[in-house]
Structure 1
């Protein structure tokens, strides 16, 4: 045990046995050598409260909130401190924030129930009491799992949860909750197939459990099984059509399945009951943006901000329109929020990226880069992305997916000609190519489909730490390859509108071209490529909804681009003629020529509608949705040049 761990243990023991002054002294000593130590700050705040040195406790909590703004226990302690000083309203707000960040804090639910009941808010008090009693009934092992999950300790959460499930058979009253928690952990890890199986099984034991059903809908949506997710949401809605929770969930699932009229109507019903709810106002804005109703989307985002000025999701949604320009007062309001020490982590990230866009539009490039850099540093620390690990992963594709492998499996796979894969890096112009091709009468545009990535994950193996992919491709039979291809066609049919061909524009599929060729040998593949500095810096400026962790650092995104080019060179050598490369700058120079070139590659006749792509009425669900609704332009070309003084890391990684 280290000296720090020994001191922490001593301080904790002192607090447990009521020796608060001693505990405070030990915590102070720890903070002298490590001023930002979160555990020491928490212990110091607790000890100072018990010693009734309230101002000192507030100082420790302010520092803890600044370092860990979403640490639920810190907000619970803030609630206890406010109560000790007689500040009931502040205490209630702190306890509510505590359970938002960590729903396993029983004391926070109990105090909320008491404070809400005292202020005449009986309905909310009953809900808090229900949550407190639910936690009280759970075994301590599962409460610990919930704590670990809320505080980001996923490996410990998984280990503890699996141990509990092994030790307690299915007849145990809490086994189903353990299954639900393991599914939530799986969702965080991205193991969606296992999470869906666990939740499906849990529902067989407890079909009326609303929380399990909500989690089940969540995983179905993440797996892009939108029809089933909507059916589940519809079933919940029919239980209680007046429930804002069920209305909101059905609205989201209706949007995902393309029923925008129903979804927007449901959002309006929710907002009649909860007129200032920022989450629903923002979700409605996203839906309006997807359908091209930009002015209405902006109004909805602004209403969300008016209701909750620190709602970073809405601020960034405005920036992410790409065409929106922030007026002076909005920039000042964002800066005020960014200066807050207690701003929640993702609100801070969202506002940093939004400020980056606002300053860039004004030509304030130093301030813009500083904001983008802050947002990226926060996300990079959260994701813990390793460029070395990614380089090694891509190198394994070159080692395993050789010309000999493809010769070995020649003639295998499912021979459907339907899929068109547009791949490469995000922000490389793939949405533009999709919009051009989806304007053709014989091609459906769909989504960034997860099916290939999910199959690659399955092929890794099920044991923890195991990774048999891509080497396992040498061991697959012709029947297995054909089955995988047939499954892909069947499972993606839900996204199609009836055209003979359809597009999957998941950019990361470039890592798996070998797998695609083996299971779908007649699929067409287009590599959307863009100038490396433009592509990488555009990715650095973009806050992605999920994935694309390589973009949150200049060195990281530059190395990823270089690795991508190297792997694409390998595919060209191992599968000559399989991939059509389309350079974004060539499309800008000669739209008709490059459009005809793509259609010739696909074996389709030219249609003039492809040149009028910006007039095509379809939902576009990427960050470029507003840009591809405009005629072709060069607004993004050379956008990195004003930032050149700060881009040495990127240049070095790209060797330019």
Structure 2
């Protein structure tokens, strides 16, 4: 059997024949230039031949394709070191070990650099080296595959190793992390819970356990775990950061902001701390302070795309010419990480839109969306099938059969629909009422639907929502009460009603009605072209994967309308549709209509919603702190020449 040419090239290099290895690498780049391993090997041989410019060009290509590959940054460090660029080499080695802590060559070179100037850091690095070198070879092989993002190989190796060492905490933690990467949060939670039981002193597993609990929306339990970690190591910034993040999730925004402030004071150059501190300040309406935090983050790292996008996402911020010049320059660099490029593209789209350079703005929006879609890999047909199943199984007969079931609590007011459709405005209006508390986009309904779906084989039939017919009245009441209980942590004002503003809950109105028959449900609707383009230019933190392609947006909007029409047919009068444009044209009339539907007396404060001081966590936070206005209602018209795919997908 003929060997792989890359294997042959590696053998040539192992024999010391650098020239032959380099020639073979050049041929491989010409035929397999998209393969990260080929680019890495070619960069190594270029450096060993002394051709540092060629090595850097290859590394630029490699880092653009595989920004996660720590070995690429280590090789860049070797190139800078060979050229005598000591500071650049150190920065590259730091990045390499952040991405892959197994790279002992980088760790040892960092030890040599810091041993005189920073003894404390030197000690930490030496401890890391001893830790890595103390792992069994089988475990190192699994970890290496994991850091190279070959998760299939990593899982294969780690399961084989756990057959020999079933209680190894590092191995158990890695297996749980692989489960998390694949979205198998229930498995990951079980593994980490067992790991913590078998290895109570292994704090990294407890940290991961809190993270997985958070991903499963068990924020209160996760915060309890985080508090214990901080108690064990009160000065550990990672533990403090996790606790602050969880405080944000449960609505303790002031406490979280105080924690971030202390963390930033201790680590002023920590970009993630500055960024998240900015998010907390934005939520609290302290915009000048949020801007300062975001600017601090990009000052430390000029290619930190998320910092620029966070400024753009304030909606009211206007970039300076100098900031735009820096963003254009950083986005154009070949070695920039994909995530940073995506954030920069969306920020530049907003910057040029504000400058009324619409063609250039759309160019950046389009580029950022294309890159994000490449990551998200959204499949529109799967969503259409999901909506079809809701229509098929949640019919009038189901609701007639389950009449009178569920938890009778009237507390929740669900505001749902598509993102960027005016739901934050409706939330602010209702949250200005003395009997209603605004919370946030609560994940509890989707978590309930996920539990009802269960774990399925790839080729198995979906069991939800078909299994709603099998649920007894007692079970539906139990589900409704569980929702009331799980959301209680977000309710701090003691009002009789609260708002759940998760947009995607429109996909589960049948479930909501069955388990909470007395809840109010409001559909926030917006004109399709205005809504569609607003979605297209918004970079969402998570979810909403349909939003990164104009055709996908149009298809999703039409599927959404089709599903809402179904709910209106089988549950007539159950959902109140509120058109965003109507709210703008007749604010008081629509406020009275909404309050009547919710069974609430009219209060003038709901009309003067912009005076209400409360934490707002969505991208529209600054817009709802101003009086009602028509800004943005027809922004899409500036981009009309490029919206053909959206119009075609929307059809009539």
| TM-score after normalising by structure 1 | 0.92
Question: Secondary structure at 2:416's aligned position in 1?
Answer: strand
Which stretches in structure 2 are left out of the alignment for 5+ residues? Answer: none
More divergent stretch after superposition (476-485 vs 556-565): 476-485
Q: CA deviation at 1:147?
A: 4.2
Inter-CA distance 109–635: structure 2 relative to 1 (3 Å threshold) = same
**1:532 has 2:550 as partner:** no
Inter-CA distance 609–31: structure 2 relative to 1 (3 Å threshold) = same
Q: Would the aligned equivalents of 1:525 and 1:580 in 2 still touch at CA under 8 Å?
A: yes
Give the match for residue 26 of structure 1. Answer: 24
More divergent stretch after superposition (536-545 vs 444-453): 444-453
Cα deviation digits, residues 489-545 of structure 1 (max 9, x gap) = 111111112211211111111111122222222222111111111111111111111
- 1:384-463 to structure 2, matched below 5 A, reads 384-463=377-456
Question: Secondary structure at 1:596's aligned position in 2?
Answer: helix
- 1:180-219 to structure 2, matched below 5 A, reads 180-219=173-212
Aligned with residue 491 of structure 1, among 486, 492, 496: 486
**1:338 has 2:331 as partner:** yes
Inter-CA distance 412–62: structure 2 relative to 1 (3 Å threshold) = same
Aligned with residue 596 of structure 1, among 577, 592, 600: 592
Cα deviation digits, residues 576-603 of structure 1 (max 9, x gap) = 2221111111111111111121222222
- 1:166-185 to structure 2, matched below 5 A, reads 167-168=163-164, 170=166, 172=167, 174=168, 176-185=169-178
Inter-CA distance 522–261: structure 2 relative to 1 (3 Å threshold) = closer
Give the match for residue 130 of structure 1. Answer: 127
Inter-CA distance 534–160: structure 2 relative to 1 (3 Å threshold) = farther
Give the match for residue 578 of structure 1. Answer: 574
Q: CA deviation at 1:168?
A: 4.3
Question: Secondary structure at 1:640's aligned position in 2?
Answer: helix
Q: CA deviation at 1:353?
A: 0.8
Report the count of equivalent residues: 649
Aligned with residue 377 of structure 1, among 370, 375, 378: 370
Separation in 2, partners of 1:341, 1:440: 52
Question: Secondary structure at 2:268's aligned position in 1?
Answer: coil
Q: Would the aligned equivalents of 2:217 and 2:447 in 1 still touch at CA under 8 Å?
A: no
- 1:27-176 to structure 2, matched below 5 A, reads 27-117=25-115, 119-158=116-155, 160-162=157-159, 164-165=161-162, 167-168=163-164, 170=166, 172=167, 174=168, 176=169
Cα deviation digits, residues 77-98 of structure 1 (max 9, x gap) = 2223334445443332212112
Separation in 1, partners of 2:453, 2:137: 34
**1:505 has 2:505 as partner:** no
Q: CA deviation at 1:164?
A: 4.7
Separation in 1, partners of 2:634, 2:353: 13
Q: CA deviation at 1:470?
A: 2.1
Q: Would the aligned equivalents of 2:210 and 2:226 in 1 still touch at CA under 8 Å?
A: yes
More divergent stretch after superposition (55-64 vs 285-294): 55-64
Q: Would the aligned equivalents of 1:422 and 1:434 in 2 still touch at CA under 8 Å?
A: yes
Q: Would the aligned equivalents of 1:437 and 1:610 in 2 still touch at CA under 8 Å?
A: yes
Give the match for residue 238 of structure 1. Answer: 231
Q: CA deviation at 1:625?
A: 0.8
Question: Secondary structure at 1:377's aligned position in 2?
Answer: helix
Q: Would the aligned equivalents of 1:247 and 1:269 in 2 still touch at CA under 8 Å?
A: no
Separation in 2, partners of 1:156, 1:514: 41
Separation in 1, partners of 2:539, 2:219: 24
Aligned with residue 476 of structure 2, among 472, 476, 481: 481
Separation in 2, partners of 1:561, 1:157: 39
**1:468 has 2:468 as partner:** no
**1:317 has 2:310 as partner:** yes
Q: CA deviation at 1:36?
A: 3.8
Q: Would the aligned equivalents of 2:373 and 2:548 in 1 still touch at CA under 8 Å?
A: yes
Give the match for residue 285 of structure 2. Answer: 292
Give the match for residue 548 of structure 2. Answer: 552
Separation in 1, partners of 2:321, 2:164: 59
Separation in 2, partners of 1:474, 1:135: 54
Separation in 2, partners of 1:528, 1:358: 28
Separation in 2, partners of 1:42, 1:147: 15
Inter-CA distance 235–311: structure 2 relative to 1 (3 Å threshold) = same
Which stretches in structure 1 are left out of the alignment for 5+ residues? Answer: none
More divergent stretch after superposition (26-35 vs 446-455): 26-35
Q: Would the aligned equivalents of 1:406 and 1:518 in 2 still touch at CA under 8 Å?
A: yes
Q: Would the aligned equivalents of 1:356 and 1:371 in 2 still touch at CA under 8 Å?
A: yes
Q: CA deviation at 1:19?
A: 4.4
Q: CA deviation at 1:632?
A: 1.0
Separation in 2, partners of 1:154, 1:535: 38
Q: CA deviation at 1:108?
A: 3.2
Inter-CA distance 148–629: structure 2 relative to 1 (3 Å threshold) = farther
Inter-CA distance 382–102: structure 2 relative to 1 (3 Å threshold) = farther
Separation in 2, partners of 1:442, 1:168: 60
Q: CA deviation at 1:25?
A: 2.4
Q: Would the aligned equivalents of 2:77 and 2:88 in 1 still touch at CA under 8 Å?
A: yes
Q: Would the aligned equivalents of 2:207 and 2:239 in 1 still touch at CA under 8 Å?
A: no
Inter-CA distance 651–152: structure 2 relative to 1 (3 Å threshold) = farther
Separation in 2, partners of 1:387, 1:12: 43
Cα deviation digits, residues 533-583 of structure 1 (max 9, x gap) = 111111111111111111011111111111111111111222222211111
Q: Would the aligned equivalents of 2:64 and 2:338 in 1 still touch at CA under 8 Å?
A: no
Question: Secondary structure at 2:413's aligned position in 1?
Answer: strand
